[in-house]
Amino acid sequence: VVKEPLVGLADHKRVRVTGNTVEEVAGAVWRLQEVLFELVEGGVLRPEHFELRESAGPGAEPRGRAATAGGLGLLSGAAQRYVSTGREREVPIRLLVAQDEAAWVVGKRGVKITKLRDLARVQMNDADSPPFDETERVLEISNASLEQRLKIVQLVLDDLGARQEASSALRLLVPTEQFGSVMGHRGETIRRIMQSTGTRMQQRKAEQMQDGSEYRLRLIEVRGDERVEVVRQVHQALEGR
């Protein structure tokens, strides 16, 4: 990434992204978008920081001109909605997927995952290894209403279901520190979810790191027709809805 002065614009720089392939460049651009969003979310950047101050010439006063409508056009539509609403207590939906499933969800040149990002913030990250396999990936969906996030889960499951080697299981990851909210008192909550949805939910036994602490995410494997409804009820429990 090389920063260069942009002629005619005071106090601004252009970021040029280069790479060996189109996929590398697209990935870098998306990462820049995500960094900008994280800075806005953390209060480091504000809408006025996204205004371009164009200089009319030497000695002229800069003129304020919004780079895009609302001053946040550098961010995705989902990020803009999140910044404007300021949601709290959201727990990102995280799905564990195999390497080939991850490639299918992302699509050629990132076309599929780009469309999903119109609804929410969607990332495909490497899974922690251990406890998971180093080839596995985590699809993380955040910064949107629960309904929007669930819509993405449904779209992903429908898309994966079109594969010849489609799996009938959904692997949902839950923060270890909040796992008790999903289990409930003596397992009442998770039993209620299974009974109301007619699904089978199997949790992986908590694994520990060398220092004795548990890994940050716990795995729940869900099988049945109402997998999206399971995700809904699990996240309602996690988010205190």
Q: How far is CA 50 from the centre of its chain?
A: 23
pLDDT, tens digit, 9 for 90 and up, residues 182-230: 999 989 999 999 999 999 999 876 666 666 677 788 999 999 999 999 9
* Architecture in CATH for domain 93-238: 2-Layer Sandwich (3.30)
Helix (H) or strand (E) holding 40, with range, is: helix 22-41
Contact between 235 and 175 under an 8 Å Cβ cutoff? The reply is no
Give this prediction's pTM. 0.65
Question: Cα angle vertex 208, ends 203, 212, to 5°?
Answer: 145
Cβ-Cβ contacts under 8 Å for 16 (sequence gap 6 or more): 1, 2, 3, 4
Instruction: Report the alpha-carbon angle 178-182-188, nearest 5.
Output: 140
Map out the domains of the chain as residue ranges: 2-75, 93-238
Percentage with pLDDT > 70 across the chain: 71
User: Mind listing the pLDDT tens digit for each residue in 95-146?
Assistant: 999 999 999 999 988 899 999 999 999 999 999 888 889 999 999 999 999 9
The pLDDT of residue 74: 44
